Structure 1
Amino acid sequence: MTFLETLIEENRQIWQQYLEHPFIKKMADGSLKLSIYHHYLIEDTLYLKEFGRVYAYALYKADTLQQMRYFYEMLSIVQKNEAYSRIQHLQELGEDIDEIENRRPHPINAEYTAYMLEIAKSGDVADVLAASLPCMVSYYFIADYYVKKSKHVLDHHFYGQWFNDYSNASYAYYISRWADVFHQLSETISKDHKNKLRKIFKECSLHELKFWDMAYQKGKEYV
């Protein structure tokens, strides 16, 4: 079992709540109101902007060329794949992307990214991975679960793309690569550092859950 798999298992109760979250369940069956998803896309676009900065710090702090390649891959996926997909859908919904980038994120969103950025500034490569992997991997965890449960989750124009983006073989491949890097790093650090990584991973797993809560609850108020 990799260190990442160990951390996911230790936080299984939190991660299970992702699968059972009303936002996710309604997105999977196609019943989620588009206005709620619209709000999520805006908040997630603002989130990804800051998430890119986290990986920029990791790229700068990388100890080896191999680590630099991995973080460059992650940064590229965030900017070229995830952000691009959000922008496409927001434009379909009539949004001005330049205007969105100047908006203030919801406080729950801002709190999450501020925490990750602080870890990225003060910590090392392993710390950055512990902070960022809950987001990257939980999306695969969710999408893979629902696609295996029913291929019909791929049918919806908006939500189907989300499930496809995070369950496809290419994304799964990168997840496995990042898990391997994280595991390699975990084998060369102290017990105290491992415990620090556990705390960071749990904190960011909880932030992920709060983000889904925010997306669903505030999305219902979004017009």
Structure 2
Amino acid sequence: MDLFDRLTEVAHADWTAYAEHEFVRRMGAGTLPATAFRAYLEQDYLFLIQFARANALAITKSRTLADMRAAHDALKAILDVELSLHVRLCAGWGVTAEALEAASEHTTTLAYTRFVLDCGQSGDLLDLNVALAPCVIGYAEIAARLAPSVTPDHPYREWIAEYAGDAYQTVAARARAHLDHLAERSLTIARLGEVENIFSAACRLEAEFWQMGIDRSNALDKAESAQM
């Protein structure tokens, strides 16, 4: 059992609430309202900008070239792949990259991204990578689980295919291996509880991020009903 598996086992309730959230289940089934997915995508674009900063911080926290290269690879994946995916998907609604970048961060986005950045600022490279793990590795696991049931006309096929694809799965596998490498160097019995708490908190914040998309969609539906 590697560190990531150990963390998901210890934080089983929080991990399950995130990885099997209603948003994920409905996205996989293709029944998630488009308004919920759009609200999520727009905020996730801003979220990724802050995660890029977190990986840039990881470079400055690194003590070896190998650590720096690992952080650089993660940063490159965000800037060159994930942000571009969000721009492509949002373009279908007529939303430009400039409009995405100019949007205001939801309080849920602020809470999650600043938590991760604080873990990096106040802790070490292991703390930061554990805070990043539910997103970086979690998305790969979620997408891989959803991919087998995706049909050619599935509304969220492109998102699922991107994160289930070989390129992103490789990113996640490297992040997982790097997490073990960092743990070998600096994880002690005394620190284990703190690391587990970081992971659990990040999972809860991920679940709240999915919920934000559903809540914003429900609010739009309620507003439209009130106007009828």
- TM-score (norm: length of structure 2): 0.90
2: distance between equivalents of 1:36 and 1:115?
Answer: 24
Cross-structure match for 1:67: 67
Change (3 A) 1:172 1:100: closer
Deviations along 1:85-104, whole A, 9 cap, x unmatched?
00111122111322332222
Aligned to 1:39: 39
Spell out the pairing of 1:159-178 with structure 2 (5 A cutoff).
159-178=156-175
Paired residue secondary structure (1:208) = helix
- Provide the alpha-carbon RMSD of the alignment: 1.7
Please give the per-residue CA displacement for 1:140-195, whole angstroms capped at 9, x wherever unaligned: 121111224x242x6425x1111111112222222222111111221232222232
The answer (yes or no) to whether the contact 2:137–2:173 under 8 Å persists in 1 is: no
Q: Counterpart in 1 of 2:180?
A: 183
Runs (4 or more) in structure 1 with deviation over 6 Å come to none
Q: Per-residue deviation at 1:76?
A: 0.8
Say if 2:98 is the partner of 1:89. no
Preserved contact between residue 17 and residue 207 of structure 2 (Cα < 8 Å): yes
Shift of 1:13: 2.1
Shift, 1:134, TM fit: 0.8
Give 3-state SS (helix, strand or coil) of 2:89's partner. helix
Judged with a 3 Å threshold, the aligned counterparts in structure 2 of structure 1 residues 19 and 115 are, in CA distance, closer, same or farther, namely closer
Q: Deviations over 1:38-83 (max 9, x none)?
A: 1111111111111111111001111111111111110111111111
Which range moves more in the overlay, 129-138 or 183-192?
183-192
- The residue that corresponds to 1:5 in the other structure is 5
Give the superposition deviation at 1:138.
Answer: 1.3
**Structure 1 gap ranges (5+):** none
> Which residue number corresponds to residue 139 of structure 2?
139
Note the alpha carbon deviations across 1:82-141, whole angstroms, 9 max, x for none. Answer: 111001111221113223322221111111111111111122111110110111111112
Classify the secondary structure of the residue corresponding to 1:133.
helix
**Is the CA contact (8 Å cut-off) linking 1:131 and 1:204 kept in structure 2?**
yes
Between Structure 1 and Structure 2, how many residues are aligned? 220
Structure 1 residue aligned with 2:214? 216
Aligned amino acid, residue 200 of structure 2: K
Instruction: Indicate conservation of the 8 Å contact 1:15/1:138, yes or no.
Output: no
Matched-pair identity in %: 27
Shift of 1:220: 2.6
Question: How far, CA to CA, are the matches of 1:182 and 1:64 in structure 2?
Answer: 14
Task: Please state whether the residue corresponding to 1:94 is helix, strand or coil.
Answer: coil
Amino acid at match of 1:213: Q
Aligned residue for 2:198?
A: 200
Q: If the length of structure 1 is used for normalisation, what is the TM-score? A: 0.92
Q: Distance in 1 between matches of 2:175 and 2:38?
A: 30
| Mapped contact 2:14–2:204 kept (Cα < 8 A) | yes
Structure 2 unpaired stretches of 5+? 222-228
Contact (CA 8 Å) 1:18, 1:142: kept in 2 or not? no
Q: Structure 1 residues 6 and 33 mapped into 2: Cα distance closer, same or farther (>3 Å)?
A: same
Partners of 1:192 and 1:22 in 2: how far apart? 36
Code of the residue aligned with 2:181 in structure 1: it is Q
